[in-house]
Structure 1
Amino acid sequence: MASSTSTKLPQWKSDLIELALQSGILTFGTFTLKSNRISPYFVNCGLFCRGKSIRSISEAYAQALDTYAKENKDWGFDVLFGPAYKGIPLCATTCDKLAGLDEKRWGDVAYSYNRKEVKDHGEGGLMVGESLKGKRVVIIDDVITAGTAIREAISIIEKQGGELVGIIVAVDRQEKMPSQAEKEGKGDDGVARGSAIGEVSRETGVPVMAVLTLSDLIVEMRKLGREEEMKKMEDYYAQYKPVE
């Protein structure tokens, strides 16, 4: 639940949020989302494109995966799958950071990604990198909005003979899925719904992890004394709170 309590974030989360602020990746204002909702904040994950920022976000993905694995001893995976296109640099750089965290545990984790169009020459095929056949696979991507892209990735994994064991994204906005009326610009219908992440987790039966949540952003804004931004995010959450 989004909250402005004094919960302390892990240092790596605080560092990532502060870098996102400094780099213009996290900005505040008035933003019309694909759902036609008016959001007071926006996270442009496409701007994690410079050396320092891609290192920071991939280290954060690695930390989140490592933390989850330590808390769930029977859980693990063999391949990070990055859906084209945004997932491609994420899967490769996060593999590198995982090995740096614990080479014994994560050194053999591989990455794989799909092509948007099947290549008919050279090595050919749809996939690049490690084969997914018989492997435990985690999808890595920037965000889940309606869940459409993630479902496409799941379909690819199944067709390649892999087993989906988890999904990790950069940001969980912690808001209910948009209605058809909202998508058509007719406003919120007021019906309670679950979040996109919650729906995908229920459908797949696997954990859906997020590096950062709206709650994390609110906590950090409070710590930085940015009360105005914090209050606007809390109000937004209250308006679009999901049922989980």
Structure 2
Amino acid sequence: MSASDSRARLLDIIRKRSFGRGEITLASGRKSDFYFNLKPTMLDAEGAALLAELTLDALQGENIDYVGGLEMGAVPLAGAIAQLSFMRGKPIQAFFVRKKPKEHGARLSVEGLAPGETLAGKRIVIVEDVTTTGGSAIKAAEAVRDAGGNIVMVFTMVDRQEGATEGFQEAKLPFRSLYTASEFLKN
């Protein structure tokens, strides 16, 4: 399938499985008349494969060491991207940042690293399923920077176009998206 066919197919999957109309309160506290719940797409076999494929294609040439982001949305994304990168012969490792460290065990904020493995000096892309203001990704980026990682960019599957671009500019984080809300709101 060509890149444009893959993109069109994934847009169709997201529209059918993860996009809806109706009043909803977003994580940011804002009200909206449309929503994206990307979990049904991320956990769909074809949807997961296409998300990983299109993300890796978009990141080509960036020399990424790791992908990760704040739980929960980043977990299935990072796993699918890591798996496909290995299958393509250019492995990118994955991790996620807890919203708050566990209160038992190692009490880690960054999860998924092997003993002795570190993000220090590594080139990292923060991935996110849906971005509204960017607050969750900025929180993940802060944890990664605290761990010594170099944030190359924040990459989201869907930008709701409600302030994230400005928030990331202010945080000095490059930002790109696979889709924008306007692509789903056209019809």
Give the TM-score normalised by structure 2.
Answer: 0.79
Quick check: 1:56 aligned with 2:43?
Answer: no
Q: Distance in 1 between matches of 2:37 and 2:97?
A: 23
Q: How does 1:12-161 map to 2 (within 5 A)?
A: 12-23=6-17, 25-28=18-21, 30-34=22-26, 35-39=29-33, 41-48=34-41, 50-52=43-45, 55-69=46-60, 73=61, 75-100=62-87, 102-103=88-89, 106-107=90-91, 109-115=92-98, 116-118=100-102, 120-121=104-105, 125-130=108-113, 131-161=118-148
Q: In the alignment, is the contact (CA less than 8 A) between 1:92 and 1:111 conserved in 2?
A: yes
Q: TM-score, normalised by structure 1?
A: 0.63
Equivalence map 1:175-190=2 (5 Å): 175=162
Aligned length: 178
Q: CA deviation at 1:168?
A: 1.1
1:68 shift after superposition: 4.2
- Distance in structure 1 (CA, Å) of the matches to 2:43 and 2:134: 27
Higher Cα radius of gyration: 1
Q: By how many angstroms is 1:80 displaced?
A: 0.6
The one-letter code matched in structure 1 to 2:9 is D
Alignment CA distance shift 1:66-1:38 (3 Å) = closer
Deviation at 1:117, TM superposition (A): 2.4
Q: Once the two structures are superposed, what CA deviation does each residue of 1:14-67 show, in whole Å capped at 9, x if it has no partner? A: 1112222333x1223x3234354442x321113235442xx4245324423423
Query: How far does residue 119 in structure 1 lie from its aligned partner after superposition?
Result: 5.5
SS in 2 for 1:10: helix
Mapped to 2, the partners of 1:210 and 1:90 lie a distance apart of 14
In structure 1, stretches of 5+ residues that fail to align are 1-8, 176-194, 222-229, 231-244
For residues 107-142 of structure 1, the C-alpha deviation after alignment (integer angstroms, 9 at most, x for no partner) is 2x1011233323543x55333223211111111111
Give the direction of change, closer, same or farther, for the CA distance of 1:215–1:13 in structure 2 (3 Å limit): farther
Report the aligned-residue RMSD: 2.6
User: Which residue of the other structure, out of 203, 213, 216, is the alignment partner of 2:180?
Assistant: 213
Deviations 1:76-99 (A, max 9, x none): 210111312221122111111233
- The one-letter amino acid of 2:166's match is E
* Aligned AA (1:21): R
Three-state SS of the structure 1 residue aligned to 2:161 is: coil
2:69·2:127 contact (CA, 8 Å) conserved in 1? Answer: yes
The runs of 5 or more residues in structure 2 that have no matched partner are: none
% same residue: 20
Contact 1:82 1:90 in 2 (8 A): no
**Compared CA separation, residues 49 and 202, structure 1 to 2 (3 A):** closer
User: Greater relative contact order: 1 or 2 (C-alpha under 8 angstroms, separation 6 or more)?
Assistant: 1
Equivalent AA in structure 2 for residue 66 of structure 1? D
Change (3 A) 1:32 1:91: same
